[in-house]
Structure 1
């Protein structure tokens, strides 16, 4: 299937590793022109080189998404380089405290994850939407999480931030739909990688006195498909929602979790 993303200008936040890297390479393989944004440009540059090796263009922009002035500068840099922004994919975010109850979570921990997972996406959306409205076209994909659909003991702050991102997504979708702009949310479950192995599995292993490998197996057992998602699964969902194949879909949460959120 031709997703018709060739030549599209795609802003991706949090592209340095994990899902962000996978999303960046997936769009590059489709021929998109990429604007890769994050606080650590040195960490992003290797991904930009991978993108260029695939024959795609890549602009790296230093940006703290929690700062509105920097997201406005990000949008301006994209316009100066490529003339427009067709797609925004908000991958940047964090996991927050793991294994802490709500009453054990500090205000500082709560505020930090809300800034990362909600304010950052809000700021980037505000920055690119006016141009999309002017052209009456655009796609926004926010990467949320299934803990923002069901809640999770020991992950209150993270869960709250992802619930909030869902509200931002749905409200924007209702507001900009008349201008031909789709706004959706991809909701990954556990995604295999360093964060899952070194934080989530390590926490479970410590509590239950089992190995991290056994912890990973236990997590997989919770899902209908009995496997943990890969970065590429999330990237493929982002491609779908960024393309006109999904032109009649907006304001939705798309779980990519092997069937956990439905259980």
Structure 2
């Protein structure tokens, strides 16, 4: 199926590694024009080169997403480079404290993850919407998480931030819908990769006195399909929601978790 993403101008935040890299390369293969945004351009450079190697027209722009001024500059730079903004994919985010109860979480830890996971997305959406409204078209895909759909002990701050992102997404979907703009959330479950192995699974292994491999298997057994998600699973969901194949879908949370949050 042709997703018709050729030459669609796409801003991707947090493109440097993991899901961000997978999503970036997926859009590059579809022929999208890419604007890769993040604070550390040195970290973005390798995936920028990979995207160009796949034939994509791509640039990178330094941007602290928590800054409203810098996200406005990001949108302006995108328009100056490509003339429009068709798609925004918000991947940048953090995990917050792991294995801490809510009462053990410090106010600074809470503020930091809420700022990054909620305000960063708010800023970028706010920055791109005027252009999308003028165009009467646009796709916004926020990458949330299933802990923002069911909650999770030991991950209160992260869970709260992803619940908040859902509210941001649904409200923007209602407000932007009359202008032919879709706003949706992709909600990954546990995604195999460095963060999952080195933080989440390692923490479980320490607490239970089991091996890292045993901890990973325990996580997998929580899911109906008995397997962890991969970066490419998240990338494919983002492609779907960024394309007109999903033209009649807005304001939804799409779990990509092998059957956990919705079952």
Give the TM-score band, short-chain normalised.
over 0.9
Partner of 2:177: 177
Distance 2:73 2:47 in 1: 21
Unaligned stretches of 5+ residues in structure 2: none
Distance 1:25 1:51 in 2: 6
Instruction: Number of aligned residue pairs: give it.
Output: 263
Within-5 A mapping of 1:158-173: 158-173=158-173
Distance 1:227 1:10 in 2: 31
Partner of 1:31: 31
Deviations 1:107-127 (A, max 9, x none): 000000001100000000000
| Secondary structure, aligned partner of 1:223 | coil
Partner of 2:226: 226
TM-score (norm 2): 1.00
Distance 2:142 2:87 in 1: 11
**Residue 155 (structure 1) aligned with residue 151 (structure 2):** no
- Structure 1 residue 17, shift from structure 2 partner: 0.2
| Secondary structure, aligned partner of 1:37 | strand
**Residue 96 (structure 1) aligned with residue 96 (structure 2):** yes
Moved over 2 A (4+): none
Deviations 1:60-108 (A, max 9, x none): 0000000000000000110000001000000000000000000000000
Distance 2:229 2:24 in 1: 17
- Structure 1 residue 181, shift from structure 2 partner: 0.1
Partner of 2:258: 258
Within-5 A mapping of 1:43-192: 43-192=43-192
| Secondary structure, aligned partner of 1:183 | strand
| Secondary structure, aligned partner of 1:165 | helix
Distance 2:85 2:212 in 1: 42
Q: CA RMSD in A?
A: 0.4
Distance 2:106 2:232 in 1: 34
- Structure 1 residue 262, shift from structure 2 partner: 2.2
| Secondary structure, aligned partner of 2:37 | strand
